[in-house]
């Protein structure tokens, strides 16, 4: 019989939080890039689509109805979805199309400086380069990081979970769980909310509770519990 000695495997290092802090996102958006690169970056930040979905987008996929522009995309899993585009981004896309001299509907929206459509790899490299130029080294900046960041922004804007899931083109609401993050400032504010909740919870029996190093003997017995 062969005896095997149990070996403790090194634990996998937990990655940093997968989102950009406000200052990091501001720096990312402030990097000066070419017009086409700016369109790629801004469309990613506007929609939060996956890199593959953005790269597949053609001019024929963009449709306007009742003043709202939407992008027809095939999302993960092969499901078709209509993704809204903000009015500001829609105006930028109009200018971009004019700059390209009105390309055919079958041509791609995102075109690199070498006049070829972006691929998932080349778009990821572009976003990484912009992140490096912005001085962001806490996390590697990738399109997926932007998706996580947008979910934080949408949550803070009080957009409900179902709508946030749809904006991320999820087909299952449970997938949203992996995109939920809390900022440090939110945690601090939540702790103070907890203190207020604790005060209200105890007010019938203990209205003056504060943390102490040592508790003085109570001069009056507590009220009996009903």
What confidence score (pLDDT) does residue 72 get? Answer: 95
Instruction: Work out whether strand 68-74 and strand 62-65 pair parallel, antiparallel, or are unpaired.
Output: antiparallel
Give the single-character DSSP code of 139: S
Domains located in the chain, CATH noted = 22-179 (1.10.443.10)
β-partners of residue 81 are 73
Q: Residue range 119-126: average pLDDT? A: 97
What confidence score (pLDDT) does residue 169 get? Answer: 84
pLDDT surpassing 80 at residue 218: no
- Of 112 and 225, the one with more pLDDT: 112
What confidence score (pLDDT) does residue 135 get? Answer: 97
Alpha-carbon distance of 176 to 161, in angstroms, equals 8
How many residues are present in the chain?
226
Residue 113, token pair as written in the block: 């400086």
What confidence score (pLDDT) does residue 226 get? Answer: 60
What confidence score (pLDDT) does residue 171 get? Answer: 77
- 8 Å CB contact between 197 and 189: no
Provide the whole-model pTM: 0.79
């Amino acid at each position: 019989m062969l005896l095997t000695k149990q070996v403790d495997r090194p634990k996998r290092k937990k990655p940093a939080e997968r989102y950009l802090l406000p200052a990091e996102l501001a720096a990312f958006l402030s990097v000066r890039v070419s017009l086409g690169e700016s369109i790629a970056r801004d469309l990613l930040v506007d929609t939060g689509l996956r890199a593959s979905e953005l790269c597949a987008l053609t001019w024929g996929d963009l449709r306007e109805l009742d003043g709202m522009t939407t992008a027809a995309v095939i999302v993960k899993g092969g499901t078709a979805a209509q993704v809204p585009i903000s009015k500001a981004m829609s105006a930028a896309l109009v200018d971009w199309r004019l700059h390209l001299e009105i390309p055919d509907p079958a041509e791609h929206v995102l075109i690199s400086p070498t006049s070829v459509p972006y691929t998932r790899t080349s778009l990821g490299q572009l976003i990484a380069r912009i992140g490096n130029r912005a001085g962001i080294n806490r996390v590697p900046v990738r399109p997926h990081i932007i998706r996580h960041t947008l979910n934080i922004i949408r949550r803070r804007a009080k957009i409900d979970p179902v709508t946030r899931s749809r904006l991320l083109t999820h087909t299952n609401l449970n997938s949203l769980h992996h995109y939920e993050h809390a900022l440090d400032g939110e945690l601090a504010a939540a702790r103070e909310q907890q203190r207020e909740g604790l005060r209200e919870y105890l007010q019938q029996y203990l209205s003056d509770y504060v943390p102490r190093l040592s508790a003085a003997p109570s001069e009056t017995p507590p009220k009996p519990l009903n």
